[in-house]
């Protein structure tokens, strides 16, 4: 079996140094604006051929973006006085207005929370932008693209999708301890960190109740990008 770059599967891992060098040389030419000796038409033909040979399992339909209207429809199906719903809506509005990868504000499983990796209540700070307006900053201790940490932020918004109101409601309803997961919620006799699976399931149930087709988690970041661009 060959990958998208026509590399045999048995060469994927471990990878030969010569193969890594080939990819690095491509990057070097791009960075230093040095032209390739290869003919562009030939490269384009190879790329088209590679695309056509890609297995169906590697292709996915386009993600449907979340919109503010979508968020409000979901909110109408949630009871924000319930611990889980309060955490879910706060997480939804925060990830939307901060334009982040959804999984970085949650934990993979109930027992995988690590305070050195996952975001906590203590990782929130209030700052001011160039217009001296309040901005709420979220420090992610470790992310997929920034292993040493990354800062994301949002500002107060008008209307019921306001992330500040949602966050304050979550903190009032759940009152998670400082060193637990940011969107931990009260369950039975203790706190549970909000997992990606539980989050998406709650959104899917609310969307179904609102007469909508459930959307994918990636649609939150896509919709956020469109909201800020448009």
Q: Where are the domains of the chain?
A: 9-58, 68-121+153-229
Q: Residue 230's pLDDT is what?
A: 82
Q: Give Cα 4 distance to the centre of its chain.
A: 25
Per the confidence metrics, is the pTM higher than 0.85? no
Question: CA-CA distance, 183 to 193, in Å (whole number)?
Answer: 6
Q: Residue 147's pLDDT is what?
A: 86
Q: Residue 156's pLDDT is what?
A: 96
Q: Residue 120's pLDDT is what?
A: 95
Question: CA-CA distance, 52 to 209, in Å (whole number)?
Answer: 39
Question: CA-CA distance, 120 to 103, in Å (whole number)?
Answer: 14
- Element containing residue 190 per DSSP (H, E): strand 190-192
pLDDT in single tens digits along all 230 residues of the chain? 444 456 666 666 666 666 666 666 666 666 766 665 656 666 677 677 777 777 777 667 777 899 999 999 999 999 999 999 999 999 999 999 999 998 899 999 999 999 999 999 999 999 998 888 899 999 999 888 888 899 999 999 999 999 999 999 999 999 999 889 999 999 998 999 999 999 999 999 999 999 998 888 889 999 999 999 98
Q: Residue 5's pLDDT is what?
A: 58
* DSSP E strand boundaries for 116-165: 124-128, 134-140, 150-154
Tallying the residues shown for the chain, one arrives at: 230
Q: Residue 1's pLDDT is what?
A: 44
């Amino acid at each position: 079996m060959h990958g998208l770059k026509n590399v045999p599967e048995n060469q994927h891992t471990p990878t030969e140094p010569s193969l890594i060098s080939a990819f690095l040389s491509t990057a070097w030419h791009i960075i230093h604006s040095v032209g390739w000796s290869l003919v562009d038409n030939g490269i384009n033909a190879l790329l088209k051929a590679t695309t056509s040979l890609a297995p169906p399992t590697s292709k996915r339909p386009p993600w449907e973006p979340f919109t503010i209207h979508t968020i409000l429809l979901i909110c109408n199906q949630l009871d924000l006085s319930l611990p889980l719903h309060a955490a879910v809506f706060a997480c939804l509005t925060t990830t939307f207005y901060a334009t982040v990868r959804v999984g970085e504000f949650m934990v993979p499983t109930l027992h995988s929370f690590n305070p050195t990796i996952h975001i906590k209540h203590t990782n929130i700070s209030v700052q001011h932008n160039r217009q001296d307006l309040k901005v709420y900053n979220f420090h992610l201790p470790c992310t997929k693209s920034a292993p040493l940490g990354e800062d994301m932020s949002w500002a107060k918004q008008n209307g019921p999708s306001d992330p500040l109101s949602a966050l304050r409601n979550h903190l009032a309803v759940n009152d998670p301890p400082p060193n637990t997961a940011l969107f931990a919620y009260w369950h039975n006799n203790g706190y549970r960190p909000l997992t990606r699976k539980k989050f998406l399931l709650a959104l899917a149930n609310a969307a179904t109740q609102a007469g909508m087709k459930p959307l994918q988690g990636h649609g939150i970041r896509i919709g956020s990008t469109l909201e800020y661009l448009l």
